Structure 1
Amino acid sequence: MNTLKFTKMHGLGNDFLVVDATKEPISWTAANIQAWANRHTGVGFDQLLVIEPSSNERCDFKYRIFNADGSEVEQCGNGARCFAKYVTEHGLTDKKSVMVETMRGIIVLHVLEDGQITVDMGKPHFAPEEIPYVPSSPTDHDAMAHVLIVGTDTVTISCVNMGNPHAVLLVDDIRKAPVSVLGEAIESHAQFPQKVNVGFAEIVSRDEINLRVFERGVGETQACGTGACAAAVAGIRHGLLNQNVLVNLPGGTLTIQWQEGESVLMTGPAAEVYSGVLTY
């Protein structure tokens, strides 16, 4: 039997199993992750976050993310804030600004005096090949918004890559949005070859939106940091929002800042719940 020390954390209810693998590598299978993620018979979490040494001399750590179904993904914004809180409060670094290697590039995490954490999420990408998204026609390739046929429904989406792929659609009332049904259908749509996270955004004002997100490989979560970034960026890009946006998610509120050509800054809390040991 193997043992695994872990810490349970969350960012606005988006919850994680955090593992420190900086001193020695740790191995597991997708089936292990699925068992640990089970909310009835395991620990229960949306993603597993792994802290590893980085081979990039510019970076302090490497950050790996695994969904509850065992699949490895590129980025997780709420997880990044938990990552920053863990490495600073568990003595892995004395820095207040931490540079981290991810599957899709480098991100910078800033721990603020009030305990909030700002994450430099990097620049968003919109080209279909960067999502990835398969255009339905040559004109669809360069469109700012894309028309997607989902079963008997036709929806308009904006595609944003925030280190992971997102499809954002506007709704009139977030409470009535068919997140589970339509979210699952879009997540696995043939035009998204690596699947996609799906955000349902309701504009409250030019400075505020309400958002629910169906996350790839997880389902709807209490909060999605990259989803909040993607929704804010899409709204700003379409001229519907100002550059500083409050994003209200079921688990709480994030602040997103972005202007064209710059990195996206996400600010919000992170919390530690408890630590424990698994055997497997």
Structure 2
Amino acid sequence: MTSFRKMHGLGNDFVVLDARRAALPITPARAAAIADRRRGIGCDQFILLEPGTDGADVFMRIRNPDGSEAGACGNATRCIASLVAGETGADRVVVRTISGDLPVERLGEVWRADMGPARLGWQDVPLARAMDTLHLPLEDAAACSMGNPHATVFVPDLDAIPVGTLGPRLEHDPLFPQRANIGFVQVLNPEHIRLTVWERGAGLTLACGSGACAALVNAARRGLTGRAATVTLPGGDLHIEWRADGHVLMTGPVATAFTGTIDLDALPL
């Protein structure tokens, strides 16, 4: 039997397995089986911890519920930093992902992650062809990359948007060769926005940290907000700041829901 930990940031939930001391037989199919909410443990993203090297305290591998690999997950980054800090007593942890290193620090009861620079070029997202990422030729949308592709759709009334219908259609639009996370944003004032995210490979979630970063960046680029704002998601609030050097800081809580064990050999390969 293999131990696991169920964690979440604002209800954006993760099953975390630890392969830092011994490798685990995790395949995309097994990650998808664990993430299944009816037949598995259930989560928005499956997280596998691997040894950190060259200045990183831990390597965090992220898989969506369909088994596909993701390059970034802001809420998981804070959760994993808190887990490692609990082991070491440190107030600062460097979490490595396939998209780069993410420094995270404890600020009292919350954690602040440096999600790295927002990437604004069409090749960075990526998009299917050259265009202005601030004004996409679909809906009223802008795009950027936070280590994974994001499109932000600006709407006057978030409650009136059929996110469950529009989200998957935009995720698979030909404009996004690697699909995209689709955030629907209502700007309440220059310091406060509302956000609901249809996550690539996961669907609707209570919160999306990288999506909140992308939403603030794209809103600020359009002059709708300043470079810092509260982002209210269905699961709660994150504070996002787009620094002058291009890096995006995300501050929010973490929680452990429960721990348990799972028989990996009983899962499909």
Correspondence for 2:123 = 129
Query: Cα gap change, 1:176/1:44 in structure 2, threshold over 3 Å: closer, same or farther?
Result: same
Correspondence for 2:98 = 103
Deviation at 1:144, TM superposition (A): 2.4
Is residue 2:216 matched to residue 1:232?
A: yes
Query: Residue 85 of structure 1 aligns to which amino acid in structure 2?
Result: S
Residue by residue over 1:190-248, the C-alpha shift from the partner in whole angstroms, topping out at 9 and shown as x without a partner, is: 11111100000000000000100000000010000000000001011111101220000
CA distance in 2, matches of 1:82, 1:259: 23
Deviation at 1:258, TM superposition (A): 1.0
Query: Residue 147 of structure 1 aligns to which amino acid in structure 2?
Result: P
Runs of 5+ consecutive residues of structure 2 not aligned to the other structure: 265-269
Correspondence for 1:36 = 34
Residue by residue over 1:125-162, the C-alpha shift from the partner in whole angstroms, topping out at 9 and shown as x without a partner, is: 01111101013xx5xx24521112xxxxxx12111101
Deviation at 1:251, TM superposition (A): 0.3
Correspondence for 1:69 = 66
Normalising by structure 1, we get a TM-score of 0.91
Query: Residue 183 of structure 1 aligns to which amino acid in structure 2?
Result: G
Q: Would you say the 8 A contact 2:34–2:46 is kept in 1?
A: no
Correspondence for 2:267 = none
Comparing 185-194 and 208-217, the one that deviates more: 185-194
Q: Would you say the 8 A contact 2:212–2:240 is kept in 1?
A: yes
CA distance in 1, matches of 2:27, 2:94: 28
Deviation at 1:260, TM superposition (A): 4.2
Residue by residue over 1:143-188, the C-alpha shift from the partner in whole angstroms, topping out at 9 and shown as x without a partner, is: 521112xxxxxx1211110111100011111111121111101111
Normalising by structure 2, we get a TM-score of 0.95
Q: Would you say the 8 A contact 2:134–2:218 is kept in 1?
A: no
Correspondence for 2:8 = 10
Query: Residue 91 of structure 2 aligns to which amino acid in structure 1?
Result: K
Correspondence for 2:182 = 198
Query: Residue 134 of structure 1 aligns to which amino acid in structure 2?
Result: A
Query: Cα gap change, 1:21/1:248 in structure 2, threshold over 3 Å: closer, same or farther?
Result: same
Query: Residue 15 of structure 2 aligns to which amino acid in structure 1?
Result: L
Structure 1 segment 166-177 matched on structure 2, within 5 A: 166-177=150-161
Q: Would you say the 8 A contact 2:78–2:111 is kept in 1?
A: yes
Which of these residues, 136, 140, 145, is aligned with residue 156 of structure 1?
140
Structure 1 counterpart SS, 2:247: coil
Query: Residue 97 of structure 1 aligns to which amino acid in structure 2?
Result: R
How many residues matched? Answer: 264
CA distance in 1, matches of 2:157, 2:60: 35
Comparing 61-70 and 246-255, the one that deviates more: 61-70
CA distance in 2, matches of 1:216, 1:144: 20
CA distance in 1, matches of 2:235, 2:93: 25
Runs of 5+ consecutive residues of structure 1 not aligned to the other structure: 149-154
Q: C-alpha root-mean-square deviation of aligned residues, in Å?
A: 1.3
Percent identical residues: 40
Residue by residue over 1:35-73, the C-alpha shift from the partner in whole angstroms, topping out at 9 and shown as x without a partner, is: 221222221101011211124x12111111011111111
CA distance in 1, matches of 2:133, 2:207: 28
Structure 2 counterpart SS, 1:85: helix
Structure 1 consecutive aligned stretches of length 4 or more whose deviation exceeds 6 Å? none
